[in-house]
């Protein structure tokens, strides 16, 4: 199996969440209110699933393996753009979290930042996914032998098996820090 297939499958779940973001954004615009709990869940999904699990596999496994290859300048440029886009997604998510804290504290001006962050995520992810699936993944599959593809798939499984432990270690570390 092509090592990009599991990544594309993960995209389907991200797309479903982005559709929920779009629906919530329409609700925010209609009521001029946001459910802070929804923003917490959105943050958790983007941070842990889209960024840590999905982008983590891309950056720490797939792109790292590609980086060792003799990529064409165009393929290298596209990979660098994708990594940069992941970083932008992290910044958008951080802005969303900070605005949610402000909104919870009564700062109604934070609603505009929450709306803008969600709107940007709703437009960002479909373009990013299309760039990976339609332009990048098909062109770079040629760099990997069937054995290398299998090794990447195995590395994904190992990566995923550690995530639940990582998530809750971070949760405990955060709570310990907050209680000091």
What tens digit of pLDDT does each residue of 7-57 get?
999 999 999 999 999 999 999 999 999 999 999 999 999 999 999 999 999
171 pLDDT tier (thresholds 50, 70, 90): confident
| Confidence (pLDDT) at 170 | 87
- Residue 175: exposure state from Cβ atoms within 10 A (0-12, 13-18, ≥19): exposed
- Fold entry, domain 5-179: 1.20.120
Q: What is the pTM of this model?
A: 0.90
Give the CA distances from residue 16 to residues 10, 76, 94, 125, in Å, rounded to whole numbers and listed in that order.
Answer: 10, 29, 21, 11
CA distance from start to end of the chain: 49
């Amino acid at each position: 199996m092509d090592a990009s297939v599991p990544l594309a499958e993960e995209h389907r779940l991200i797309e479903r969440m982005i559709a929920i973001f779009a629906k919530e954004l329409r609700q925010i615009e209609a009521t001029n209110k946001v459910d802070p709990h929804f923003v917490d869940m959105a943050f958790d999904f983007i941070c842990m699933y889209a960024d840590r699990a999905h982008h983590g596999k891309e950056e720490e496994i797939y792109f790292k393996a590609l980086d060792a290859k003799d990529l064409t300048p165009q393929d290298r440029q596209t990979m660098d753009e994708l990594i940069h886009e992941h970083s932008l997604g992290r910044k958008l998510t951080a802005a969303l979290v900070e605005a949610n804290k402000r909104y919870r504290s009564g700062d109604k001006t934070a609603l505009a930042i929450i709306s803008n962050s969600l709107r940007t995520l709703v437009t960002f992810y479909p373009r990013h996914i299309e760039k990976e699936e339609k332009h990048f993944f098909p062109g770079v599959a040629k760099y990997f032998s069937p054995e290398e593809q299998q090794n990447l798939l195995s590395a994904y499984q190992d990566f995923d098996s550690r995530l639940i432990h990582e998530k809750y270690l971070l949760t405990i570390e955060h709570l310990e820090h907050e209680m000091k």
